[in-house]
Chains A and B, each alone.
Chain A
Amino acid sequence: MPETKTVTKKPVLEAVAVTVRFAGDSGDGMQLTGDQFTDTAAVMGNDFATLPDFPAEIRAPAGTLPGVSSFQVQFSKDVIFTPGDQCDVLITMNPAALKVNIPNVKKGGLIFVNESSFDEAHLKKAGWKSNPLTDNTLKDFQIIKAPLSALTANALKDHPLKLSEVERCKNFFALGMIFWLYDRTMNHTIEWIQKRFAKRPEIVNANIAALKAGYNYADITEALPARYQVREAKLEPGTYRKITGHEATAIGFVTAAQLASKTLFYGSYPITPASNILHELAKYKNFGVKTFQAEDEIAAVGAAIGASFGGQIGLTGTSGPGLCLKSEAINLAVMTELPLVVIDAQRGGPSTGMPTKTEQTDLLQTLFGRNGESPIAVVAPKTASDSFQMAIEAVRIAIKYMTPVVFLTEADTMNAAEPWKLPELDKLPKIEIKHPQLGNEPFLPYSRNSETLARPWAIPGTPGLEHRIGGLSKADLTGNVSYDGPNNEKMVRYRAEKIKGIANDIPELEIRGPKSGKLLVLGWGGTFGAIYQAVMDLKAKGVEVSQAHLNYLNPFPKNLGQVLSQFEKVLIPELNSGQLLLLIRGNFPGVNVIGLNKIQCQPFKVEEITKKIRELV
């Protein structure tokens, strides 16, 4: 369908980076609208980063504060690393969305309000004592009042739709306005609408009409005197796609299984925010992927262990509360020394906490939350797209070292979208596996590879290697049940050494900036973007500060101690009350570590980190 090209006399100004936030009721389609805006940014070659922020309730009462769902995206002609601290433009569908999001708008920013919804009932539901459009509440912002519901209804008056269906098209009207404002193409979204609603042509027509009406309205309204252009970003040369964290995670594990020539078996019980991985992997059955929606978290991990015992890739995924339930089974994989990968998508805790919000509070649980001495490997992706590489790493380590590995990700990393420079497939190394076969010597299921200390992975069905494994203490070599104390110590130490030894098989920690100096900012996981941006901003202003970011949390890269020792101070920003900090203090007692801690289930803003760095240098 050809795009409606409006000849406009309004000036087009240049912008470098813009942050837009769509906010409305959870039923208003804000996530979808944000997704469409992001896809278009991708198609137009911008760099971008997103922050979906939605309530746990599927449809909280309409018009209320807890029901507000938002989607923030920063798009840019420069390379960016965060979805933006505050937005330049806020699009709100009702008074509740306005109320919740005012703190997220830059001073002087543009706020679109759906004037149709500012009636007494809606104002009351959102807890406004007086109408913010007529009092002084919004004096620091530019307000674009548009009666979105009425305008959409007018645009669709000839369409054979029910009133409630017409109302539901208003998000496309709003999207059309923002598309005009930033001189975006509508083609991608039009094609998407055609595909998505293919079975209901009347909905296709109405949504496209609403989108175009919004675009044209923005063009003619005097409230918007100019539009902005954000040019293509100068990303590294290569082929890119937009990817979310859960997509990159799922694709990473499928790829790992293919690199290992194995079946990927995913056992999982639905839990926010990990369920998306189950949904993704369930689509890939033609890759031989087998997904199993278990009766509970324990069954999910148990089945994954069963698949590993059977010689395939056993993977399970969950979030904090589910990880608690899986700990006993993870320890079974520690004792039986079977490969197992556990995805933990961290969310606000403790207990049920804030299921849809982000945190980094399970680090110590993954390391120490099991009975006995039970070290396991832990890796953490630092961005959405980094999940791909770290998923492959998790599988590689699990198999090579015959150990459980936790893939420790976060709600925001999972939900965020960003451009991903596609890897060269033929450069991804194969994951080599050797299952033992019967030889002339008696088979010893707990003999060890001298380099890795891994035991052999003998799988049921192999003639002559019949053996029994289990959770009882194992005798060295034979794996028979053993109640011998010194043998137990020997085995505990073997397993600890095995995990420690992984440090020789992972990349050393890289430092951005000077290799020594006053301050190193050390992070792990999803805080990468905010830290990177903060350090970059300060460097541009002449502040001397270095950054290092951990992808491997157990074991640490072997040069970590040496890296830390070169700095007077080490700042550790974490979305918890100091878990990595505790580990660094315990492992490297001489280092002067300072925490920057936030436990509000929201990501760091760049300015929170810059402020702390300035305090310290």
Chain B
Amino acid sequence: MSPEAANKLPYTREDLVSGQEVRWCPGCGDYSILATMQRTLAKFDLPKEKYVFISGIGCSSRFPYYMNTYGFHSIHGRAPTIATGLRCVNPELSIWVITGDGDGLSIGGNHLMHSMRRNINFNILLVNNQIYGLTKGQYSPTSPIGKITKSTPQGSIDYPINALCIAIASEATFIARTLDSIPAHMGSVLERAMKHKGVSFVEIYQNCNIFNDKAYEPITGREARDDRMVLLEHGKPLVFGKGRSKAIRLKGLRLEAVDYKEGMDTKELLIHNEQDPEPTYAYLLTQMEYPEMPVPFGIFREIVKPTYDEMLNMQVQEAIKKRGKGDLKELIYGTDTWTVK
């Protein structure tokens, strides 16, 4: 590619395709995520040398190879650590961590939690298909209890973890859920993640058509969607159901579904507030689980807090302001020297 072509803006999706042969199984939900990511970034005017995709191990972690940007396919669960170091030394890049339910919530659970609590300025996409794909079909930390797999022929006896609960507990400043089968929704969420300053955590429900096909079908399938999904909109009631006939209300410490009609008095209803300074409301949303409740998609929470990298750079600046730019001679000589003649 010539230097001129390298910098041509605006981009189309094709400009962000690396040309490496994509090796996911035909029908894998990752194709849709990759295409949506490429389309989303093409909307921004950041030159592509400024993007870095960093992943761990697993099917989704092959992602960086397919983006025509900088990329780092690292080791199992550790992508957030590499992203952390990179962010600490370079404030200008747009950094994306691609992880999965095994990579991010099992072997790399520690790093996921700590990068979120530090509010380091990068984006984390957790592609959740509730199964280990690359190791050929063992249950994952998000698989429902009783899941029968090669490693659990009598059904798994692990209770699953809810990724968004971890994000809320870690006080991530941007928390969202989207899905592979509605690219428009995914695109809008990724766009918001890109614009967010601080850590963005996006869980993407993704279908593994080989080892866990249709795991989300009862929620996101075309038939079920209307009744089983709530699309969150800031400042609006949580409306769902065929013909937008239901909404959510708070009763005590629980949420419940009630009948809804366009134009009705909404003061009894729960109104979505992404910016709630308290995490309690966002946590309540995570408890809306299939089959008792419709499952929320969209931005759960977005708050503003200084980022780790920002504060780190500020400390460096403050130290320079207070003590002057480091002088090597002073450093080496220290406070007490003596001379031998």
Least CB distance from A88 to B in Å reads 24
| B336:A242 contact, CB within 8 angstroms | yes
Q: What is the distance, in angstroms, from A457's C-beta to the closest C-beta of chain B?
A: 13
Chain A residues positioned under 8 Å from B110 (CB to CB): 295-296, 299
Chain A residues with CB below 8 A from B319, complex form: 285-286
Chain B residue nearest to A300 (CB atoms) is B81
The residues of A that contact B72 with a CB separation of less than 8 Å are: 309, 336, 468-470
Q: What mask results when residues 289 to 314 of chain A are scored 1 for a CB within 8 Å of chain B, else 0?
A: 11010111011111111111111101
Query: A336 — which chain B residues lie within 8 A by C-beta?
Result: 72
A468 to B81, CA, bound (A): 17
Main secondary structure of the interface of A (DSSP, over half): mixed
Q: How far is the CB of B305 from chain A (nearest CB, A)?
A: 18
Question: In whole angstroms, how far apart are the Cα atoms of A469 and B64 in the complex?
Answer: 9
Which of A235, A242, A309 touches B340 (beta carbons < 8 Å)? A235
A247-284 CB mask vs B (1 if < 8 Å, else 0) is 10001001100100001010100000000000000001
> How distant is A347 from chain B, measured CB to nearest CB, in Å?
24
Cβ-defined contact, B48 with A466, below 8 A = yes
Inside 8 A of B82's CB, which chain A residues have their CB? 302-303, 305-306, 309
- Alpha-carbon distance A334/B50, docked complex (angstroms): 25
B20: nearest chain-A partner, CB-CB:
A480
A125 at the interface (CB under 8 A from B): no
Bound Cα distance A265, B312 (Å) = 11
Determine if A368 is an interface residue (Cβ-Cβ < 8 Å).
Answer: no
User: Does B325 make an interface contact (CB < 8 A)?
Assistant: yes
Interface-side segment among A26-34, A37-45, A604-612: A37-45
A582 at the interface (CB under 8 A from B): no
Tell yes or no: A583 within 8 A of B by CB. Answer: no
Contacts of B89 in A (CB 8 A): 263, 265, 290, 306-307, 310-312
Which residues A170-195 have CB closer than 8 A to chain B? 188
Chain B residues 1-55 with CB under 8 Å of chain A are 1, 3, 6-7, 18, 20, 47-50, 52, 54
Contact between A460 and B339 (Cβ–Cβ < 8 Å)?
no
Contacts of A233 in B (CB 8 A): 340
B75 contacts the other chain (CB 8 A): yes
CA gap between A310 and B52 in the complex, in Å: 10
Q: How far is the CA of A471 from the CA of B329 in the complex (A)?
A: 41
> Would B340 and A284 count as touching, CB distance under 8 A?
no
Cβ contacts under 8 Å, B320 to chain A: 285-286, 288
Q: Of all chain B residues, which has the CB nearest A283?
A: B319
A481: Cβ under 8 A from any B Cβ: yes
Expressed in whole angstroms, the Cα–Cα distance for A284 and B323 within the complex equals 10
Q: Which residues of A contact B86 (CB under 8 A)?
A: 306-307, 309-310, 460
* B92 in contact with A468 (CB, 8 Å): no
Shortest CB distance A506–B (Å)? 23
Scoring A258, A311, A336, A468 by chain B CB atoms within 10 A of each residue's CB, the highest score goes to A468
The A-contacting residues of B in range 38-91, CB under 8 angstroms, are 47-50, 52, 54, 64-65, 67-75, 78, 80-90
Rounded to whole Å, the gap between the CB of A240 and the closest CB of chain B is 5
B315 interface residue per 8 A CB criterion: yes
Establish whether residues A464 and B85, one from each chain, have CB atoms under 8 Å apart when the complex forms: no
Measured CA separation A300–B85 after assembly (Å): 9
Task: Say yes or no for A128: interface residue by CB 8 A criterion.
Answer: no
Neighbouring A residues of B6 by C-beta, 8 Å: 438, 463-464, 466
User: Is there contact, CB below 8 Å, between B74 and A258?
Assistant: no
A461 interface neighbour in B73, B75, B93, B315, Cβ under 8 Å: B93
Instruction: Decide if A423 is an interface residue (CB 8 Å cutoff).
Output: yes
Question: In the complex, what distance in Å separates the CA atom of A608 from the CA atom of B20?
Answer: 63
Give the contacting residue for B338; candidates A45, A251, A470, A481; CB below 8 A: A45
Q: Can you list 19 contacts pairing A with B, beta carbon distance less than 8 Å? A: A45-B340, A254-B331, A288-B316, A294-B114, A295-B113, A298-B78, A298-B81, A299-B81, A303-B88, A304-B85, A306-B81, A310-B89, A314-B85, A332-B78, A336-B72, A422-B332, A466-B70, A468-B72, A471-B73
User: Closest 9 CB pairs between A and B?
Assistant: A306-B85, A302-B81, A470-B73, A287-B326, A303-B85, A464-B6, A468-B71, A285-B319, A306-B82
Q: Besides A302-B78, A309-B85, 8 other CB < 8 A contacts?
A: A43-B338, A234-B340, A241-B338, A286-B325, A302-B84, A460-B86, A463-B6, A480-B20
